[in-house]
């Protein structure tokens, strides 16, 4: 293994290669921020359509349009917004409260946020995003229950080959998937069900073929054991953020051993302080295992848009509101189960008294047909209801 080196900027894969990046790290150690940094670096490349295809439940991925307050050493603002295309369930209306115009590298000024319903063919979505360099934002958390979102996710991925064949071959794609275990779980049960199995299989198959579709995939996960082993076998780059090394699977246990050995060796040579144990990494640092097995210590700053902070309200910051139109329907009074059982009893009583009248008429010598005509119902209705009533009475 090559000795550790220090980099100041995330390493991008060689042009023309389409790797799978997997990030592992403890909660809140900067996994999502690292994915966003990569996404925005790939966004700069020509003809690269970038997708952010899962977020946490607080919709953290809606903040691409909000520039960060980063400044260079002369106080010049560096923050930058990126236009978004939201894939939304049909029942969501996108309301723009505060427009966020964005100037594209070619000088066009466009609205920061646009949306398409999830029933739009993927090829159209990719075309729209490419034309205005929009980051395609989707998350299973737009749906309730999330399993519906997983189905839409699987459907989007399933359409990928068809869309790819229909679009210009010069285009490349980047898909960032935060919280990978939600769409590819190996052992977690929280999203179990048909949709969960579907997305897991679809994603594993897709990742295997992604390079044929010129697609780079970047996933993050807290617990490496919670994602499908199929995905692990296909990794190209593994990024390790701060974590307790005992959570690493056996296949990665050599990494902390190597780091510790190298750290101790170098500490005798004064340089040692710069090589950090896995459980002491800062939020802007990570170890990178390269496709050839080399290991380097890397650093990455936050993206140029405002990365979601705990107290941020993503919709307010993006100047939008996603309005659930199902909520506009007139409120129906909520029936308690007591009300419902009382209603059922009243209906049964009314039918019983009706049947008693029909039977009385029948005893008085009327035919079924005459009774049906008298009460304005069909003959078969009278007969079957009376027979059922008599049978139930026995």
Q: 16 CB contacts (<8 Å, ≥6 apart)?
A: none
Question: Residue 176 interacts with ligand ATP (CB under 6 A)?
Answer: no
Question: Residue 222 interacts with ligand ATP (CB under 6 A)?
Answer: yes
Which one of ligand ATP, Mg ion, none is in contact with 67 (Cβ closer than 5 to 8 A by kind)? none
Q: Helices (DSSP H) in 24-180: which residue ranges?
A: 31-43, 122-131, 146-158, 160-166
23 or 48: CB nearest ligand ATP = 23
Q: Which of residues 103-162 bind ligand ATP (CB under 6 A)?
A: none
Which one of ligand ATP, Mg ion, none is in contact with 234 (Cβ closer than 5 to 8 A by kind)? none
Question: Residue 197 interacts with ligand ATP (CB under 6 A)?
Answer: no
Question: Residue 30 interacts with ligand ATP (CB under 6 A)?
Answer: yes
29 or 215: CB nearest Mg ion = 29
Q: 179 CB contacts (<8 Å, ≥6 apart)?
A: 54, 55, 56, 220, 221
Determine which residue in the list 33, 49, 122, 203 makes contact with ligand ATP, applying CB under 6 A: 33
Question: Residue 283 interacts with ligand ATP (CB under 6 A)?
Answer: yes
Report, in Å, the least distance between residue 31 CB and Mg ion. 5
Q: 267 CB contacts (<8 Å, ≥6 apart)?
A: 273
Question: Residue 266 interacts with ligand ATP (CB under 6 A)?
Answer: no
Please give the DSSP secondary-structure letter assigned to residue 323: E
60 or 235: CB nearest Mg ion = 60
Exposed/middle/buried for 254, CB within 10 Å: 0-12, 13-18, 19+?
middle
Binding mask 325-344 for ligand ATP (x = CB under 6 A): --------------------
- Here the tokens at position 95 are 């309301």
Q: Helices (DSSP H) in 287-378: which residue ranges?
A: 314-318, 337-363, 368-375
Q: Percentage helix, strand, coil, to 5, in the chain?
A: 40, 20, 40
Question: Residue 61 interacts with ligand ATP (CB under 6 A)?
Answer: no
Please give the DSSP secondary-structure letter assigned to residue 223: -
DSSP strand pairing (92-96 vs 48-52): unpaired
Query: Radius of gyration over alpha carbons of the chain, in Å?
Result: 30
10 or 83: CB nearest ligand ATP = 10
Report, in Å, the least distance between residue 244 CB and ligand ATP. 14
Neighbours of 201 (CB within 10 A): 14
Q: Which of residues 167-206 bind Mg ion (CB under 5 A)?
A: 178
Determine which residue in the list 94, 116, 302, 359 makes contact with ligand ATP, applying CB under 6 A: 302
172 or 242: CB nearest ligand ATP = 242
Determine which residue in the list 32, 48, 199, 202 makes contact with Mg ion, applying CB under 5 A: 32
Strand (E) or helix (H) holding 116: strand 113-117
Determine which residue in the list 19, 21, 22, 25 makes contact with ligand ATP, applying CB under 6 A: 25
Distance from C-alpha of 241 to C-alpha of 281, rounded to nearest angstrom: 7
Using CB atoms, what's the residue nearest to ligand ATP?
A: 30
Where do contacts with Mg ion occur on this chain (CB under 5 A)?
Answer: 32, 178
| Residues in contact with ligand ATP by the rule CB under 6 A | 25, 27-33, 56, 222, 283-284, 300-302, 307, 309
């Amino acid at each position: 293994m090559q000795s550790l080196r220090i980099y100041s900027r995330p390493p991008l894969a060689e042009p023309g290669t389409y790797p799978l990046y997997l990030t592992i790290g403890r909660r809140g150690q900067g996994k999502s921020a690292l994915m966003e940094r990569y996404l925005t670096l790939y966004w700069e490349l020509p003809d690269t359509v970038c997708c952010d295809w899962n977020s946490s439940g607080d919709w953290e991925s809606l903040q691409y349009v909000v520039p960060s307050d980063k400044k260079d050493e002369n106080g010049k603002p560096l923050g930058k917004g990126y236009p978004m295309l939201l894939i939304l369930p049909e029942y969501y209306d996108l309301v723009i409260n505060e427009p966020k115009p964005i100037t594209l590298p070619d000088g066009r000024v466009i609205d920061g946020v646009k949306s398409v319903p999830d029933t739009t063919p993927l090829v159209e979505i990719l075309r729209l995003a490419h034309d205005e360099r929009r980051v395609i934002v989707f998350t299973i958390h737009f749906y309730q229950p999330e399993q519906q979102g997983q189905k839409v996710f699987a459907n989007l991925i399933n359409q990928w080959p068809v869309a790819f064949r229909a679009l210009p071959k010069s285009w490349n794609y980047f898909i960032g998937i935060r919280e990978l275990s939600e769409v590819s779980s190996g052992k977690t049960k929280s999203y179990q069900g048909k949709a969960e199995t579907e997305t897991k299989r679809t994603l594993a198959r897709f990742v295997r073929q992604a390079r044929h579709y010129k697609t780079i995939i970047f996933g993050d996960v807290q617990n490496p054991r919670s994602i499908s082993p199929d995905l692990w076998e296909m990794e190209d780059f593994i990024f390790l953020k701060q974590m307790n090394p005992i959570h690493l699977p056996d296949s990665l246990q050599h990494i902390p051993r190597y780091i510790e050995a190298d750290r101790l060796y170098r500490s005798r040579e004064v340089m040692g302080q710069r090589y950090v144990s896995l459980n002491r990494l800062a939020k802007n640092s990570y170890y990178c295992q390269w496709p050839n097995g080399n290991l380097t210590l890397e650093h990455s700053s936050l993206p140029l848009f405002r990365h979601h902070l705990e107290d941020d309200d993503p919709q307010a910051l993006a100047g939008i509101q996603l309005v659930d139109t199902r909520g506009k329907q007139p409120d129906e009074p909520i029936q308690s189960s007591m009300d419902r059982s009382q209603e059922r009893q009243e209906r049964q009583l009314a039918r019983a008294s009706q049947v008693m009248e029909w039977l009385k008429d029948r005893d008085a010598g009327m035919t079924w047909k005459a009774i049906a005509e008298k009460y304005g119902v069909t003959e078969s209705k009278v007969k079957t209801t009376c027979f059922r009533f008599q049978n139930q009475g026995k």
